[in-house]
Amino acid sequence: MDVQTRAEKAARKLLSGDRASHSFDMRLDTIRPGYAEVSMVVRDDMINGHKTAHGGVVFTLADTAFACACNSHNITNVAANCQISFVRPALLGDRLLARAEEISLGRRSGVYDVRVENGDGKLVALFRGMSMSLDRPLFEEDME
């Protein structure tokens, strides 16, 4: 199986069971080996007490892009550790785009950087995730 097909199948497998991302109306815009773009519009049920997008919502978007990128080689990976810096508030109606990029990949773990931008291309948040491999495939390649 070529690496691009593998990445697409892995993302489809991952997202098909991801009820949380679905309930946030997230959309996978791009998937490549070690790379993913996921977008979402800030709805009124995603607003916090400061009248901006809840930090948890911005994190969830970044985390979903991270999950797609770190599972794209069809080795099951889970998040071990994440860091997020909030740079600019996201507002009601903003379309947020999260781009996750693989910075480093070892046998046991990997590091991924995610930028979340608003519709004007302004930086909303920076996210860095460390993934840990569970040493098993996400889907059986022979059975597909």
By beta-carbon proximity to a copy of itself, the closer residue of 51 and 142 is 51
Binding region for a copy of itself (CB under 8 A):
13-23, 44-51, 53-57, 59-61, 63-64, 67, 71, 76, 78-89, 103-104, 106, 108-109, 111, 113, 123, 126, 128, 130, 132
Question: What tokens appear for 3 in the block?
Answer: 């690496």
Taking alpha carbons only, the member of 120, 69, 71 closest to residue 97 is 120
By beta-carbon proximity to a copy of itself, the closer residue of 16 and 143 is 16
Taking alpha carbons only, the member of 131, 102, 128, 104 closest to residue 115 is 128
Nearest approach, Cβ of 133 to a copy of itself (angstroms)?
9
By beta-carbon proximity to a copy of itself, the closer residue of 5 and 23 is 23
Cβ neighbour number for residue 25 with a 10 Å cutoff: 11
Cβ neighbour number for residue 137 with a 10 Å cutoff: 16
By beta-carbon proximity to a copy of itself, the closer residue of 3 and 123 is 123
Nearest approach, Cβ of 91 to a copy of itself (angstroms)?
13
HSE-CB at 97 with a 13 A cutoff on CA atoms is 12
Nearest approach, Cβ of 77 to a copy of itself (angstroms)?
9
- Residues 115 and 100: beta-carbon distance below 8 Å: no
Nearest approach, Cβ of 95 to a copy of itself (angstroms)?
17
